[in-house]
Chains A and B, each alone.
Chain A
Amino acid sequence: MKFFFHIGRYFLMIKKTFGKFTKWNVLKGLIFREIDDLIISSTGIVSFLSFFVGGVVAIQTAINIENPLLPKNLIAFTTRQSIILEFAPTFISVIMAGKVGSYITSSIGTMRVTEQIDALEVMGVNTYNYLILPKIIALTLYPFLITISMFIGIFGGYVACISGGFSSPAEFIEGLQLDFRPFHVTYAFIKTFIFAMLLATIPSYHGFYMQGGALEVGKSSTTSFIWTSVAIITANSFITNILLT
């Protein structure tokens, strides 16, 4: 029963988020700040992780291809498919549930604990719109982050493959172009967008409705990470079943 209570309250929160709007002049500033905090500040870690994971995927594929009849361009093909279909959209999103999600929960949770949300409510501010909508809008730019991850991941694979002598540059480029289906990119971006909405709203929910003090802010951040990851992995399964099968 408690689970359904939370689901209901979560959707009511989203409804209230699109209720009485904050003045555009104020909202604009909040959106830019969130873009900086949530998207731009994540570029470094996403690039770093993507480069090395891309490299590892290429190396793992290369050392597992023992049959000499299999073409070398398969390494690039596998790297591309792994990164575009799963690593960039799904696993980066799970990592972001830890980075961005914890930040959202702890920032809203701290505002709750220190009565800043009460102060906004007393003034007559729609706190849902003021606090959550800028995060949702900022995270609509999340697919750009995933695009960077895709490019850098594939580049990491290229560097690892060439420097390790697993294939030639020409074979790698050929593999990247092999059996390329644009719909796979569309599929990746559809799910990236859905994950972005989960990343903005689930941590906001855990921050907004937290009770207690500083210790609970930490606990809520952990709970938020768990539920956001669960939601992303579950949504990934459904979207894949619907779009790719």
Chain B
Amino acid sequence: MIRIENLYKSFDGIEILKNISTNFEKGKTNLIIGQSGSGKTVLLKSILGLIKAERGNIIFGDKLISNMKQKERAELRQDIGMVFQGSALFDSINVEENVMFPMKMFTNKHHTEILDRANVAIKRVNLINSNHKMPAELSGGMKKRVAIARAIIMNPKYLFCDEPNSGLDPKTSIIIDNLIKEITNEFNITTVINSHDMNSVVEIGEKIIFLEEGEKKWEGSNKEIFHTNNKSVSKFVNSSELFKKVRDVYLSKK
């Protein structure tokens, strides 16, 4: 589990995150949703330590990040897998080498063992006959799969995904969403996803946090979001026709 307590962050005097407190639960897909510019990416990067928050606590398991020593932080980073918005694959190496990279960097395992693990991860994300392709030769969906394979090769305890569906067609988005959810359940990890994709909200949002102008305005599950009275979150989710249809079907069944 990841616990966030009273997190603040500002850039040039403008507050981007205002007093954010929440829990990201283990074995669940936790979604951070909100409009562009609502502070989702800043929150994610603050949790990851890529941006330094001004105030507040970030607790991984029972360990407070700000109290951790350099060595402990380095160890924690090896428990974290991250899927970036643009996949962030290393251009100069092929798919197989990209997936093997974290193990090559941080373990002393033999090359053949690392290769076996990479092949298992590549197979897990259903990527076939692409081991020796360069990132430039892959489609957006394939890149995301490689990024997921790279993120899970070290058996992480925490998986972060920044807009995993951005730039993907609806069919591929659903496949990627399902893959993330399956991996979360299979490895019993804490998954945090930044998204403004309503399909993700409906399909995989086991816990949802809604941000607006840097403030947490609502939190609940994908079932609770259908009948929330919160005006901000209703306005945001109901701007999607897909969401409205799914909500109507869900409420009529009830």
Q: Are B84 and A124 in contact (CB under 8 A)?
A: no
A40 at the A/B interface (Cβ < 8 Å)? Answer: no
A230 to chain B, nearest CB (A): 29
Contacts of B105 in A (CB 8 A): 22-23, 26, 123, 125
B241 at the A/B interface (Cβ < 8 Å)? Answer: no
A215 at the A/B interface (Cβ < 8 Å)? Answer: no
Q: Are B106 and A26 in contact (CB under 8 A)?
A: no
Stretch of A6-14, A114-122, A191-199 contacting B (4+ beta carbons < 8 Å): A114-122
Stretch of B85-93, B191-199, B230-238 contacting A (4+ beta carbons < 8 Å): B85-93
B158 to chain A, nearest CB (A): 10
Given A114-B88, A115-B85, A116-B90, A122 and B50 touching (CB < 8 A)?
yes
A26, A110, A122: which contacts B77 (Cβ < 8 A)? A122
Q: Are B104 and A123 in contact (CB under 8 A)?
A: no
B150 to chain A, nearest CB (A): 8
CA–CA, A25 to B103, complex, Å? 12
B128 at the A/B interface (Cβ < 8 Å)? Answer: no
Q: Are B84 and A123 in contact (CB under 8 A)?
A: no
B82 at the A/B interface (Cβ < 8 Å)? Answer: yes
Contacts of B14 in A (CB 8 A): none
A17 to chain B, nearest CB (A): 17
Given A22-B105, A25-B104, A122 and B86 touching (CB < 8 A)?
no
A20, A33, A119: which contacts B84 (Cβ < 8 A)? A119
B77, B90, B91, B160: which contacts A124 (Cβ < 8 A)? B77
CA–CA, A20 to B160, complex, Å? 25
Q: Are A26 and B88 in contact (CB under 8 A)?
A: no
Q: Are A121 and B50 in contact (CB under 8 A)?
A: yes
Q: Are B80 and A122 in contact (CB under 8 A)?
A: yes
Q: Are B78 and A124 in contact (CB under 8 A)?
A: yes
Per-residue CB proximity of A108-144 to B under 8 Å, as 1/0?
A: 0011001110110111110000000000000000000
Closest 10 CB pairs of A and B: A124-B77, A119-B88, A115-B88, A122-B82, A115-B84, A124-B74, A116-B88, A123-B102, A122-B48, A118-B50
Given A118-B45, A122-B160, A124-B77, 6 additional A-B pairs, CB 8 A = A26-B104, A114-B91, A115-B85, A118-B84, A122-B82, A123-B82
B: which residues have CB within 8 A of A? 45, 48-50, 73-74, 77-78, 80, 82, 84-86, 88-92, 101-102, 104-106, 160
25 A-B pairs whose Cβ atoms sit less than 8 Å apart in the complex: A22-B105, A23-B104, A25-B104, A26-B104, A33-B92, A111-B91, A115-B84, A115-B85, A116-B88, A116-B89, A118-B50, A118-B88, A119-B82, A119-B84, A119-B88, A122-B48, A122-B82, A123-B80, A123-B82, A123-B102, A123-B105, A124-B73, A124-B78, A124-B106, A125-B105
